[in-house]
Homo-oligomer: A and B are copies of this chain.
């Protein structure tokens, strides 16, 4: 019933305005929550400071040990199933001429940061990462309160690449975090949610047909990108339908996605219609 030749999705973005783009990969996700409990209640930091483990300080120590000074994630077996970027992929990344300076300027940072041995664009989509998405504990309002808190919590997520499995990574993460905590605190680790990563073969006929179609519509050479985010249903489509999934996205970084005044460029709309028509024609030649 669900038989099909290919799945065509337009939910990703153009590499830049006017540049025809085929996205051939998505990162997966493993999203964890770590809660540390020190004393069984909030304490006065004067009366108890110096005698008892502080869960915020201990949580900070654990987090600081999850990524080493070379930007490598320290969880055992974390990289075990990571497929290396092929020479061809690294060549494709290079062709994108990603500008570190421009991103620094856009985000107002003096310096980018990440895993040694990879370019920024490779780190943003082709390599796994670990980020704290949230942290809280103790007194978090304006001013000062001398509390030695009972609890501290961090939300920590990892973006994954093929062939990492979020379920396995979650287990390794939990084990590692527990091994890093001192006896003076209790540790709870929760697996909040996850999704598989995927990379499609550039040699697939559907991908080739799509690349040709967008190139024809835009009147430019197509570029190939991998997306740093996740679209879990893409993995389901690929696995359940056993069909190639083509990500022929038309969005722009300036579309305010998921933000007020979200919009879609009319030029993208027209070029998208054209690209889809060309794709149907091109793909039917197979």
Q: A50-B159, A51-B123 are in contact. Are A107 and B40 (CB under 8 A)?
A: yes
CB-contact partner of A134 in B46, B64, B138, under 8 A: B138
Closest B residue by C-beta to A192: B144
Are B13's CB and A110's CB within 8 A? no
The answer to whether the Cβ of A203 comes within 8 Å of any Cβ in the partner chain is: no
B136 near A140 with CB under 8 A, answer: yes
Contact pick for A258, options B29, B146, B154, CB 8 Å: B146
Size range of the chain A interface in the assembly: 35 or more
User: This chain: how many copies in the complex?
Assistant: 2
Could you say which residues of chain B place their CB within 8 Å of the CB of A135?
Answer: 56, 59-60, 135-138, 140, 152
**Which chain A residues (208-231) contact chain B, with CB distance < 8 Å?**
227-230
* CB–CB B114/A50 < 8 A: yes
A10 interface hit (Cβ, 8 Å): no
A145 to B39, CA, bound (A): 28
Asked if B124 contacts A134 (CB within 8 A), the reply is no
Q: Are A133 and B124 in contact (CB under 8 A)?
A: no
Most buried by B among A52, A59, A61, A256: A52
Q: How far apart sit A103 and B128, CA to CA, in the bound complex (Å)? A: 43
Binding site for B on A (CB under 8 A): 13, 27, 29, 31, 33, 38-54, 56-57, 59-61, 63-67, 103, 107-115, 120, 123-125, 127-140, 143-149, 152-155, 157, 159, 182-185, 192-193, 227-230, 253, 256-259
Sample (27) of A-B pairs whose CB atoms are under 8 Å apart? A13-B47, A40-B107, A40-B109, A45-B129, A45-B133, A45-B157, A47-B257, A48-B228, A49-B124, A50-B115, A50-B228, A51-B103, A52-B113, A53-B109, A54-B131, A56-B134, A57-B66, A57-B131, A60-B60, A112-B184, A113-B184, A133-B148, A134-B145, A140-B140, A143-B192, A144-B192, A145-B258
